[in-house]
């Protein structure tokens, strides 16, 4: 492994997030080759890194999971009062975190991984990765409202205009929306500009990964073909 920042190494070893890794370093409980570590230090496989006396070993492979996040489960790693938290609900054997959140009231496909490089690539807004949603409103959709949403609408509270998106009407009160950005509660905010209240929102696809037959609360590891395609779309080489 080439030299990387210590906080990134701790995250890759499943200790905690990079932000929390910085706190551990500041607390003086992280040592490199027997010496107390300093923030910003870089390490490689040649270094011996310990946290509170436990020697770390970076994983030789990475995992990517497809998870059906149920409603009322929260995407957070820091809110102790959040109730049902994704990483606790899934209970996976190693530390994974999500690439792209779903709000508490939404459900559907969430990708989780222990590969920070993959998360960074998936989260870069400029890459325009597609995410697909089934959106049910409280009243019948009008063609004019759908047309406005397709073109992009101004979200006053965020001070941004949304990118053009794909919308297919699949029922009187139901549409399939495909977005290439991930603003906070974007679909709910977009629909509100047209006078629509969302009754249910389910994400069914992230890039090349489909929700498929997963039921709420279930997860699966991606197939090798899915992993290879996902990494390729992100401009990365899959790590076995």
Instruction: Provide the annotated active-site residues.
Output: 103
Q: How far apart are CA 111 and CA 68, in angstroms?
A: 9
Facing residues of 200 across strands?
Answer: 136
Interhelix angle 143-151/186-193, nearest 10 degrees: 130
Neighbour order of strands in the sheet with 54-55: 35-36, 30-32, 49-51, 54-55
Q: How many CB atoms lie within 10 A of CB 177?
A: 22
Helices (runs of H) and strands (runs of E) counted in the chain: 7, 17
Specify the DSSP element, H or E, that contains 73: none
């Amino acid at each position: 492994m080439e030299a990387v920042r210590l906080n990134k190494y701790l995250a890759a070893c499943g200790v905690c997030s990079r932000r929390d890794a910085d706190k551990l370093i500041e607390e003086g409980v992280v040592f490199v080759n027997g010496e107390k570590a300093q923030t910003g230090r870089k390490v490689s496989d040649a270094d011996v890194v310990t946290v509170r006396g436990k020697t770390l070993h970076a994983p030789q492979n990475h995992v990517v999971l497809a998870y059906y996040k149920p409603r009322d489960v929260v995407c957070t790693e820091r809110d102790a009062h959040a109730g049902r938290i994704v990483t606790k609900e899934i209970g996976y054997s190693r530390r994974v975190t999500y690439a792209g959140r779903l709000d508490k009231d939404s459900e559907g496909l969430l990708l989780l991984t222990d590969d920070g490089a993959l998360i960074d690539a998936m989260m870069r807004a400029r890459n325009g990765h597609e995410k697909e949603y089934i959106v049910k409103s409280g009243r019948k959709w009008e063609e004019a409202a759908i047309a406005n949403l397709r073109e992009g609408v101004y979200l006053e509270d965020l001070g941004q205009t949304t990118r053009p998106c794909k919308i297919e009407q699949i029922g009187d009160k139901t549409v399939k929306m495909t977005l290439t950005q991930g603003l906070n509660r974007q679909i709910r905010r977009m629909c509100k500009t047209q006078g629509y209240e969302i009754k249910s929102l389910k994400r069914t696809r992230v890039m090349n990964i489909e929700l498929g037959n997963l039921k709420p609360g279930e997860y699966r590891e991606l197939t090798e073909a899915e992993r290879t395609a996902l990494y390729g779309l992100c401009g990365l080489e899959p790590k076995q």
